[in-house]
Amino acid sequence: MLFKRKKSAENKKSDALCVSLEDLLKQQNYLPYLQIKNNLETSTLSGEIKSALKGRGMELEEVRAYAFGDDIRDMDWRVTARKSEPFTKVYHEEKDREITVLVDMSASMVFGTRNELKTVSAAKIAALLGWYALKNKDRFGALIFDGELSHYFKPQNNRQNLTSVFKMLAKTTEKTLKNSARGNISDALKILQFNQKGHGIIFILSDFSQVDFAKFKQIAALAKRNKVCCINIFDVLEEVAPINGEYAAEYGVQKLQFDSSPEDFKRTYQKYFADKRMNLKQNCRKFSVQYVEIRTDIPVYKQLRLM
């Protein structure tokens, strides 16, 4: 007979503020609940899903402008001569996919009023995607940005690498809870651009609070040669103004007192976040980037729907 000890209120509170390795390992149990659709055919080779990668194969995928790193053997000399600039042929390649997650754990992500912090939600989403990749025999990698440092894990198809990513996620949620840094996600995007060779799948887990149009150009650059999905993680308090009352807010050395009762305040408050979300959606649409929203007050496995 198996007995399970009930979690205390203190343990539940701790789980909401940071995540443990055990919590991330348990995310494997939620894989059956995920709603992930894939419009790619089933592969008969190493992976269970036809690869999103492109390389030397039997079926021509497209002819496009030559990019640094392309194989010179695939040059389309007829199109190159006609266009007066280099063009290359791209083929389907039947093998495992490369899935990479960029997990933003900078200061703005250390926030949450319901259920859990945004950093905890991000870690759980990364874990779910990691287990999904391992199940489908895909290579899984991660870049974890804590506002100061970026920790990069090269995509691999083994459980040892997955566990290493989980350990760093757990360690980072605990670190940022004690000492968070605002940082610049642009630095993490540069590292990802340098390491990502192209034709993979990239998930960016963030609240995108620092991502203006200039920074989104980095995401757009990644989307030129990869499938990119922006997963916007937000708290309900960022969508709806707090109930009527006087509040004190503090961020770093900045302190603010405000009254949430006036209707003008509520409209301005909600419009600010609604406009930010709309701008992000429009940028994603413009550059063919998938957009997904995740709320911290609902278990992530119930919300994660990917095409």
**What is the rounded CA–CA span in Å between residue 112 and residue 108?**
10
**pLDDT tens digits, 119-156:** 999 999 999 999 999 998 899 999 999 999 999 999 99
Which is nearest to 300 in space by CA: 238, 252, 210, 231?
Answer: 231
Contact by Cβ (8 Å): 19, 25: no
What's the confidence (pLDDT) of residue 92?
A: 56
Average pLDDT, the chain: 83
What's the confidence (pLDDT) of residue 241?
A: 84
pTM, 2 dp: 0.77
Residue with tokens 């609604």: 274
- For the segment 231-251, the average pLDDT, to the nearest whole number, is 85
* Better pLDDT: 119 or 113: 119
* Better pLDDT: 193 or 91: 193
Half-sphere exposure of 240 (CA within 13 A, CB side): 7
Question: Cα 169 to the chain's mean position, in Å?
Answer: 13
Reduced to 3 states (helix: H, G, I; strand: E, B; else coil), residue 104 is strand
What's the confidence (pLDDT) of residue 240?
A: 85
